[in-house]
């Protein structure tokens, strides 16, 4: 739970946010985003057991109505509504998702990862102790041949 809260704090999650948790697992991120940070949250989980655990956690935590988990492959999900995306996936999965995130998320949207990073993006904030990384679309994914990053 310490890492979950660190992810949400680093991303500055607030009641104006719509958080998408890709690979929702047991639903901790989704329910914590709703209960402790006031956001609306949507989780995507393809594993049936984890989906069920996440769904039950949402119901028993009292987050139902502000949180939902969908039994769906997140590669097929439309992410355009998200203001924050959370990931605790493998390195190669993050890299596979990178172009989808760049294509579908609005500039200023925050992507926060636990442990695994993005090779072609630079984090805006890092909690090195807990290995949590914050990226911002339009800044972190800026590609430049100059040494200044981000653009001024």
Q: In whole angstroms, what is the distance from residue 39 CA to residue 5 CA?
A: 13
Mean pLDDT over 79-102 rounds to: 89
Length in residues, the chain: 152
Which of 3.40.190.10, 3.40.50.150, 1.10.10.10, 3.30.70.3280 would CATH assign to domain 2-136? Answer: 3.40.50.150
**Domain segments of the chain as ranges:** 2-136
- In sequence order, the 6+-apart residues with CB closer than 8 A to the CB of 67 are 27, 30, 31, 33, 34, 40, 41, 42, 43, 58, 61
Per-residue pLDDT of 47-80, as tens digits, reads 999 999 999 999 999 999 999 999 999 999 999 9
Q: Is 108 left (phi over 0), alpha (psi -120 to 50) or beta?
A: left
CA angle 35, 10, 6 (to 5 degrees): 60
Per-residue pLDDT of 14-41, as tens digits, reads 999 999 999 999 999 999 999 999 999 9
């Amino acid at each position: 739970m310490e890492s979950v809260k660190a992810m949400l704090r680093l991303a500055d999650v607030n009641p104006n946010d719509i958080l998408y948790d890709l690979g929702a697992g047991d639903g901790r991120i989704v329910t914590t985003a709703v209960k402790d940070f006031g956001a609306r949250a949507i989780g995507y989980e393809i594993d049936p057991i984890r989906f069920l655990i996440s769904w039950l956690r949402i119901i028993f935590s009292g987050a139902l109505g502000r949180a939902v988990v969908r039994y769906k492959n997140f590669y097929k999900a439309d992410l355009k509504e998200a203001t924050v995306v959370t990931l605790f996936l493998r390195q190669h999965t993050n890299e596979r998702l990178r172009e989808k995130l760049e294509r579908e998320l609005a500039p200023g949207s925050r992507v926060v990862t636990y442990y695994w990073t993005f090779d072609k993006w630079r984090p805006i904030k890092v909690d090195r102790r807990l290995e949590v990384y914050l990226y911002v679309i339009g800044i972190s994914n800026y590609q430049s041949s100059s040494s200044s990053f981000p653009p001024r």
